[in-house]
Amino acid sequence: METSITYGRVVDLTHPIRPDIPRWPGDPPVEFEPVASIGKDGYRLRRFSMGEHSGTHLSTPSAFWHDGVGPAQIRLESLVSAAVVIDVSDLTMRDPDYALSVDSVKEWERRNGEVPSGCIVLLFTGWERYWDQTERFINADAGGTMHFPGFGMDAARFLLERRGVSGLGIDTHGIDPGADTDLSVSRFALGKNALVLECLNNLGTLAPNGATVVVGRLPLVGGSGSPASVLALVP
C-alpha cells in the first residue's frame, strides 16, 4: 500500500552536536579530532566520538535486554510516524519534577481529539531552553538526583496500551522524570518496542497535531541506541 505525505515546511527537531552539549552523568565526552586538513592533505576530515545516548538520540530495547532490538534492527516503518505534541511548558516552569498524567492527556484530547493509534507522542516541556546551560539542563541536586520533567508511568501506560501509540519523545534527556533513577518509563516503553526519542529541539514550533516525524539513525551493530537526526514535516 502506498502512503502519500504532503507538507509545507520542514522543522529540524535535532540539536547541533558540539563538544559542550549536555551529557548524562557518566557518559563519554563528545570529541572531534582532525585527521586531514586542506592545507596538508588537500581535503578536510575529522574523526568524532560520542555516546550512543548523547545529543538528540533514540533508545532501543537492547539498552536493557540482551535479546532486545538494537538500532541496526529497528523496524524502518517506525521511523516515519504521525506525531502529536502535548505542551506542558507552563507547568514545568513551576515544577521541574513534573510528570505527565492521564488527566493531562485527556485534557489534551478534549481540545484536540483522541490521540490516534500508531502516532508518536512528543512531550514539549520547554526544557530545550536550557540546552546551552549544561548544568541547568541536567539539573542535578547536591546528592546527584536530577530534576527535569517527563512522562508519568500511568500516562505512558495509557498512551501505549489504551491509545496504541508507537512511541514517546521529549525535549529533556529522558522520557522518565529525572528523579526516576530506575528509568521505569523507558523500560516499560522499550519493553513494548516503542520508539523512544530524547533531547528533541524546536517542539514548541509544532501544532498539537498534523506533523509527520522522520527519524534518521545510525544502524550501529550491537548498539543500545543511536544519535538521531529528527525532522518534522508540517502541513
Q: Which domains does the chain have, with CATH numbers?
A: 9-22+52-234 (3.50.30.50)
Predicted confidence (pLDDT) per residue in 163-186, tens digit: 999 999 999 999 999 999 999 999
In this prediction the pTM is 0.95
Predicted confidence (pLDDT) per residue in 43-97, tens digit: 999 999 999 999 999 999 999 999 999 999 999 999 999 999 999 999 999 999 9
d(CA 53, CA 45): 24
Task: Decide if pLDDT at 3 tops 80.
Answer: no
Name, in order, each residue with C-beta under 8 angstroms of 22's C-beta and a sequence gap of 6 or more: 130, 131, 134, 137, 138, 173, 199
Mean pLDDT within 147-159: 98
pLDDT at 2: 60
d(CA 56, CA 196): 11
d(CA 5, CA 17): 29
What is the chain's mean pLDDT, rounded?
A: 96
DSSP one-letter code for 38:
H
d(CA 176, CA 187): 9
CA angle 117, 123, 6 (to 5 degrees): 55
3-class state of residue 162 by DSSP: helix
**Percentage of residues in the chain having pLDDT higher than 90:** 97
